[in-house]
Amino acid sequence: MNTPTDDILKNLTEDQLTAVTHLDGPMLVVAGAGSGKTRVVTRRIAFLISQRIWPSQILAMTFTNRAAREMQERIGRLVGDVPRHVGTFHSCCARFLRQYVEALDDGRTKDFVIFDADDQKALLKQCLNDQPATGGLLPGAISDLISRAKSACLTPHDILAKEAWDNAETVLEVCQAYENRLRAQNAVDFDDLLLLVARLLRERPAIREIIHNHFRYLLVDEYQDTNHLQYELLKLLVNPANNNIHATGDPDQCIYSWRGADYSNIMNFEHDFPNAVIVRLEKNFRSSEHILNVASRLISNNLNRIDKTLIPAIAADDPQKVRLVTVGSDRDEGLWIARRIKTLHLNGNPYRTMAVFYRTNRQSRALEEALVRAAIPYQIIGGLRFYARREIKDLLAFLRLKVNPADRISLERVAAFRGGVGPKTLAAIEQCAREQHLEAFTLLCQPDFAHRWQKKNAKVLDFANWCRQLHDLPCTPVGQAVAAVHDFADFTHHAYDREGTPEARQENLQEMITNAIHYEREHDQAGLNEFLQEVALVADVDTHDLDRDTVIMMTLHCAKGLEFPYVFIAGVEEDYLPHANTVADPDQVEEERRLFFVGITRGREEVALLNARSRPSWDGDWGRQPSRFLRELPMDDIIHTTFNVNNPTVPKPTFRRW
């Protein structure tokens, strides 16, 4: 806490300095793309610490683990002390919930587990199976309904009243059964992490007062991406005695309405906090002048925004104009991108400096094929998550069962992995456990299980003995615990049916053990439960390996918060960008324009926009039209060419014919 203030404040622009040195009262920082937003947030936290604010009194929340880690690392370099409560919304709330969940008095304890999307659907499938008739209801649809309700601080009944659902009564029964089973299994889903903390703050004044007295400053990154639940949660977290909330965001980069994000939250900040200080960061430290001109002209067509102008902070000697390439087909699109990547690489640029963006995942296939044919290494962000792979999910089920015997979903997965005990037998064991007021796994682990079970079934007794051995394995240190469970379950020799290669599965499992060892080294006092919580909250974008020299492929939604020297945006066409499902709603078209804006502003030196004249389609219509957004771009900042295999790179004289 003795870092000189001059070191914290050096190399800041006047607007950044205003934001960093603001002390008390609410402040909104409208941070344009590439304007040093993360620098401002981290420098402000460092400045607060230099002003003798204890790190433990600062709560800073963002949306991705990657962003949270970057903030922590920067703060550590500046002042040495890193506030413990710097993390994602979900990780911060999970920490609060571990401490206070028992005050809800709903049966859950601090050892609760976090159900991911797959666990949630598995639990809903159980609930549906208990219904006499489901009318074709699917777990995924009900999962989406529950999530939308919780994110909007509503009940499933409220959502159903606005939407036309068949079998509405059955849906409500399934939703209630789902919540009952969550509580019975001492589990929460992702939305519960926030919803239950909000409920604690609203219904338990004593806990709210403790939180208010503990945290003097609240900082929120990416405020434009907050949904209604997060918005309500933040209002509950802010101490009304001082309203020390520092919100940073940009309405022009709000691209997640489909998961509940509401840009009106940031637009209404001044209304919510009338004495708020508003700071605009308009100097861009990332992109060239041409890229910024194109992005600024594009986004100026949106009506719902806070007006600002992106200004290049550093003038390049010979900035590259934005490339607009019309190709003959999707194969030509992939070929042009592959050739350009090869050229850039031969000129000394690592593959990791290049990224290919697309609107939908289905576009990736033709692009992947082109990169494979050109022998260009790549990694896809947003594909099958590491922690969603079958062998990893199996290992996690073993670990979760050790810390939470009530986790029925994990018990089913463990039983299926080992074999010998089927669903019917497991249901009988669960019934026996209920009669004895125990959890099924706890009953199985009892030394006198054979007496309690009172049935002669060698397979069940063998399974019970195996469960007892699993239970007795150590839970600490974390790395050794994960390795011990891996060896005990004999993953090395477990047979999976036609799912990947055994070598690849073993590599994944070894990576899991390595991750646990790293976690153990970085968190001395943390146990297995904390490690499982960390794993449960990993997002797709957090799998981006910066050290691998590969081209990055991802959807435009995943690209948010990243930057690359060279960016390719494929499929800038009607029905892709804007997406066909959005064109009937002007508000959604504006969001599609924001999504395009986000993609363009990821580029530092060169951006290429591609559209195809023809592309395979499910309805047999291969003809494609350029995106309406292309007509909004300034042609003085663009080089427009056409390309196809038979007639490559022919200059196109005019843009008007489109």
Is 332 one of the annotated active-site residues of the chain?
Answer: no
Q: What's residue 394's pLDDT?
A: 93
- Looking at residue 599, the DSSP 8-state letter turns out to be H
Question: Among 15, 16, 37, 413, which one carries the catalytic annotation?
Answer: 37
Q: What's residue 654's pLDDT?
A: 36
Question: Among 38, 176, 480, 642, which one carries the catalytic annotation?
Answer: 38
Give 617's pLDDT tier (boundaries 50, 70, 90): low
Is 253 one of the annotated active-site residues of the chain?
Answer: yes
Residues 580, 632: Cα–Cα separation, whole Å: 19
Strand 378-380 to strand 187-189: parallel, antiparallel, or no bridges (unpaired)? unpaired
Is 424 one of the annotated active-site residues of the chain?
Answer: no
Say if residues 81 and 372 touch (Cβ distance below 8 Å). no
Question: Among 602, 604, 615, 624, which one carries the catalytic annotation?
Answer: 602
Q: What's residue 137's pLDDT?
A: 86
Phi, psi for 165 (deg, rounded to 5): -120, 135
Give 455's pLDDT tier (boundaries 50, 70, 90): confident
Instruction: State the DSSP string of 460-490.
Output: HHHHHHHHHHHHHS---SHHHHHHHHHHHHT
Q: Directed axis angle between helix 190-203 and helix 139-151, to 10°?
A: 30
Question: Among 221, 225, 232, 332, which one carries the catalytic annotation?
Answer: 221
DSSP reduced 3-state for 291: helix
Question: Among 72, 120, 253, 555, which one carries the catalytic annotation?
Answer: 253
Q: What's residue 337's pLDDT?
A: 97
The per-residue pLDDT for range 184-200, each reduced to its tens digit, is 999 999 999 999 999 99
Given a cut of 70, is residue 520 above it in pLDDT?
A: yes
Q: What's residue 657's pLDDT?
A: 28
Given a cut of 80, is residue 646 above it in pLDDT?
A: no
Given a cut of 90, is residue 633 above it in pLDDT?
A: yes
The per-residue pLDDT for range 33-49, each reduced to its tens digit, is 999 988 999 999 999 99
Which letter, b or e, does each residue of 24-33 get, where b requires 16 or more Cβ atoms within 10 Å of its Cβ?
eebbbbbbbb
Q: What's residue 529's pLDDT?
A: 86
Phi, psi for 566 (deg, rounded to 5): -125, 125
Given a cut of 70, is residue 650 above it in pLDDT?
A: no
Q: What's residue 545's pLDDT?
A: 64
First to last CA, the chain: 60
The alpha carbons of the chain give a radius of gyration, in whole angstroms, of 27
Q: What's residue 2's pLDDT?
A: 53
Q: What's residue 599's pLDDT?
A: 97
Q: Virtual CA dihedral for 320, 321, 326, 332, nearest 10 degrees? A: 10
Say if residues 414 and 397 touch (Cβ distance below 8 Å). yes
Residue 187, strand partner residues: 113
Q: What's residue 621's pLDDT?
A: 58
Give 357's pLDDT tier (boundaries 50, 70, 90): very high
Give 476's pLDDT tier (boundaries 50, 70, 90): confident
How many C-beta neighbours within 10 Å does residue 217 have?
21
Given a cut of 70, is residue 523 above it in pLDDT?
A: yes
Give 514's pLDDT tier (boundaries 50, 70, 90): confident
Say if residues 243 and 273 touch (Cβ distance below 8 Å). yes
The per-residue pLDDT for range 265-291, each reduced to its tens digit, is 999 999 999 999 999 999 999 999 999
Q: What's residue 525's pLDDT?
A: 74
Given a cut of 50, is residue 306 above it in pLDDT?
A: yes
Average pLDDT of every residue of the chain: 89
Q: Which range has the worst mean pLDDT, 241-245, 331-335, 453-457, 584-588?
A: 453-457
Q: Virtual CA dihedral for 262, 263, 267, 271, nearest 10 degrees? A: 10
The per-residue pLDDT for range 69-98, each reduced to its tens digit, is 888 888 888 888 778 899 999 999 999 999
- What are the strands, taking DSSP E only, across 585-655? 603-612, 638-643, 650-651
The per-residue pLDDT for range 385-422, each reduced to its tens digit, is 677 788 999 999 999 999 999 999 999 999 999 988 88
Output the CA angle 499-501-503, nearest 5 degrees.
140
Report pTM: 0.81
Phi, psi for 583 (deg, rounded to 5): -70, -15
Question: Residue 553: enclosing H or E segment and its boundaries?
Answer: strand 551-555
Q: What's residue 658's pLDDT?
A: 34
Instruction: Give me the percent of the chain exceeding a pLDDT of 90.
Output: 64
Given a cut of 50, is residue 482 above it in pLDDT?
A: yes
Residue 573, strand partner residues: 626
Q: Which residue has the higher pLDDT, 150 or 7?
A: 150
Question: Among 116, 191, 192, 222, which one carries the catalytic annotation?
Answer: 222
Please report, for residues 189, 315, 468, the alpha-carbon distance to residue 420 in angstroms, rounded to integers and kept in the order given. Answer: 30, 69, 16
Residues 178, 122: Cα–Cα separation, whole Å: 10
Is 222 one of the annotated active-site residues of the chain?
Answer: yes
User: Mean pLDDT, to the nearest integer, of 219-231?
Assistant: 93
Instruction: State the DSSP string of 161-216.
Output: HHS--TTHHHHHHHHHHHHHHHHHTTEEEHHHHHHHHHHHHHH-HHHHHHHHHH-S
Burial of 119 (0-12, 13-18, 19+ CB in 10 A): buried
Given a cut of 50, is residue 651 above it in pLDDT?
A: no
